[in-house]
Amino acid sequence: MGDKLFRIKIIGGYNKEDVHSYISKLEEELTRAHERLEGQNEPGREPEKKAEADEDVIVLRDTAEETKEKNMRGKVVKQEGADIGCGGQARELAAIREELEQVKNELIDTKVELGISKKRCEQSEQKKESLLELIQHLVDNYSGLQTSQYYLTEQIKDMGRMEKRMEIIQNNLEHILRADVSISDSF
């Protein structure tokens, strides 16, 4: 009787509104039965009708209690199913959280490694710039040294020419002095 009255929900249990409306109807019938019973208690009523009314009340109470029991069992089954489903979902959620934590830690490690790599790149760039400046300084100095070498070479050549001229002048002076001495000796 109760199974046909209630619509079943997809996620276990009966439709709550159906159960509440059924219980309300039973309570109304119970109230009417009580009223009939009170009406039968009036003097002059037959004892048979009173007995029937008592049976109706008992049947209605039993039906109401069975319905409440079914409703409670449905709630318990629904809750157990939800707990089981939630337990599985909780395990899945815990596994997902664990994976997320691992990914988070890996991301942190990667960020640290990237930071270290970035620092190394910056240091490498600074070293490269320093080396380029040093090379430019050396190139500039080399050009200056080449120029200085050229001037020194020219000065050495000039000194060599001057030396030869001085030798010639010295030789000429020696010849002049010898000639002077020979002229003075002849007089």
Give the DSSP per-residue string, 158-175: HHHHHHHHHHHHHHHHHH
Choice among 2-6, 49-53, 129-133 with the minimum mean pLDDT: 2-6
Are 37 and 53 a contacting pair, CB within 8 Å? yes
Read off the DSSP letter of residue 43: T
Are 22 and 2 a contacting pair, CB within 8 Å? yes
Which pLDDT belongs to residue 79? 58
Question: Reduced to 3 states, what is the DSSP secondary structure of residue 9?
Answer: coil
pLDDT tens, position by position, 58-101 = 777 777 777 777 777 666 656 555 555 556 677 888 888 888 88
Strand partners, 97: none
pLDDT tens, position by position, 134-183 = 999 888 888 888 888 999 999 999 999 999 999 999 999 888 888 777 77
Which pLDDT belongs to residue 132? 92
Which pLDDT belongs to residue 11? 61
pLDDT tens, position by position, 26-42 = 888 888 877 777 766 55
pTM above 0.75, yes or no: no
